[in-house]
Amino acid sequence: MQKTPDKKRIVFPFVEAGLGHIMPMKAVADAFEDKYGHLCEVVRTYFFQDKQDDDMLYVEKMLIKEVHKHNKSRIHGFIQFLAMRLGGSNTSNQFLHKVYWKRGFKPSMAYMQELNADLIFNTHFSTLYYACQAKQQGLIDSKVVMFCTDPIVERQWDRRSDVAVVFSSTGKEKAEKIYGFKKRKTPIMQVPFLLRKDIAEYTKTRQAYKEEVGIPPDQFTILLSDGAYGRGRLRKTVYELLKSDIPLTIVAVCGKNEALYKEFSSLQVPSHITFKPFGFTDKMLLFSAACDLFIGKTGSSSLAESSYFGVPAIITLTATSLDKGIANHYTKHVKNSVKLASAKKAASLAIAWAKNPSLMDYYIQNSKTEHRCDGPDQLADILWGLLNKPTSNE
């Protein structure tokens, strides 16, 4: 890929494996391009898709399949993370990329070299591995930066990055003690979670946004979402909420789970309940701004967005140790969320809060510490500084 003469190139490789990786990547890419795009080349690529290589596409399909499996069976995720603990990060990554997804290794490495980047920023462990491996093999001389989308850096993240960025103080403290980072003296930096910049535009009242969605402005509103693939306990929780004996508004986002969306769209609901099902949508910020309560599986972006709007959360599913880390962050550190694995218990608590909203005051107050969206700008400045720091060949 030909470079523009006398300009540095930064690459943002997107991976389609859940919005938890895509939204933070988009947020920092937008911030960087706004601030520094006129001074350097900014390349955004859907890493496994843009070459239309069957073997690379296969890797992404496998990643998506794994996300489905994790959300369908907690045992699947447990076994995988246990294997990573026993084998270690390096061995696990080598097995995944060179053996399990072997057919995608060579074309992915070739594309990483073709991108010819001065800096590669990663929010997904797969592109991070290819970047680190390509650098170790001398195929590229790029600075490699990772942003951990989870509060704690787990074992799927390659330890060979030049800089690791986290968003929680607990995550930073633990990352500094990880042997791989410590041995390499990898700088660990902390920025607020990478919320998309559009969130700052939501300055109206909650009632105003309810009217914009087309729901009763004075009715207690519950937003339910289990991520882009609409798995988890979304279906069960909705059916439990529909048993409510008080007026409620239920906004259920099914994501790419079209079968669930069709099922919800055909439901006959009680007259005192307003039910709004949606498929895959770009209105999640609007829904978060309009709701009084969020219910769903752990997701860094969804919980960060609801927290920004001062909305408490009931977490109904933690499929892997990553999810448990996210849940612990919001239940034990931010303290604005409750974890209830039972859909029945989650719905019961939600209805109790709807009857007496003052019971949520503690969680709403704690959410105020999360009302900030300057993470992408902070990280853009960090990336610009790294991009202009001489490499080993300069």
Task: Quote the pLDDT of residue 299.
Answer: 81
Quick one: average pLDDT of 355-373? 95
Superfamily of domain 204-370: Glycogen Phosphorylase B; (3.40.50.2000)
- pLDDT of 365 over the 80 cut: yes
Task: Quote the pLDDT of residue 94.
Answer: 86
- pLDDT of 370 over the 60 cut: yes
- pLDDT of 265 over the 60 cut: yes
**pLDDT for 167-180, tens place per residue?**
999 999 999 988 78
- pLDDT of 112 over the 80 cut: yes
User: E strand or H helix at 121, and its extent?
Assistant: strand 119-122
**pLDDT interval class at 17 (50, 70, 90):** confident
Stretch among 58-62, 155-159, 258-262 having the lowest mean pLDDT: 155-159
CATH of domain 9-196+374-387: 3.40.50
Task: Quote the pLDDT of residue 135.
Answer: 97
- pLDDT of 247 over the 90 cut: yes
Task: Quote the pLDDT of residue 64.
Answer: 85
- pLDDT of 69 over the 90 cut: no
For residues 367 and 286, what is the distance between their CA atoms, to the nearest angstrom? 18
Stretch among 277-286, 315-324, 369-378 having the lowest mean pLDDT: 315-324
**pLDDT for 200-219, tens place per residue?**
999 999 999 999 999 999 99
- pLDDT of 73 over the 60 cut: no
**pLDDT interval class at 234 (50, 70, 90):** very high
Stretch among 115-124, 184-193, 283-292, 313-322 having the lowest mean pLDDT: 313-322
Give the residue with greater pLDDT, 300 vs 144: 144
> Rounded mean pLDDT of the chain?
90
Under a CB-based contact definition with an 8 Å cutoff, are residues 189 and 382 in contact?
Answer: yes
Under a CB-based contact definition with an 8 Å cutoff, are residues 244 and 271 in contact?
Answer: no
| Cβ contacts of 176 within 8 Å, gap of 6 or more | 182, 188
* Nearest residue to 255 via CA among 212, 299, 319, 211: 299
* Nearest residue to 97 via CA among 131, 145, 139, 50: 131
Helix (H/G/I), strand (E/B), else coil: 340: coil
* Nearest residue to 127 via CA among 10, 14, 29: 14
Q: Where in the chain is the domain with CATH 3.40.50.2000?
A: 204-370
**pLDDT for 36-54, tens place per residue?**
999 999 999 999 999 999 9
Quick one: average pLDDT of 73-98? 67
Q: Write the DSSP symbol of residue 144.
A: E
- pLDDT of 347 over the 90 cut: yes
**pLDDT interval class at 351 (50, 70, 90):** very high
What are the start-end ranges of the H helices in 179-257? 179-184, 206-213, 234-241
Quick one: average pLDDT of 363-374? 94
Give the residue with greater pLDDT, 168 vs 88: 168
**pLDDT interval class at 78 (50, 70, 90):** low
**pLDDT for 137-177, tens place per residue?**
999 999 999 999 989 888 789 999 999 999 999 999 999 98
Under a CB-based contact definition with an 8 Å cutoff, are residues 314 and 340 in contact?
Answer: yes
- pLDDT of 77 over the 60 cut: no
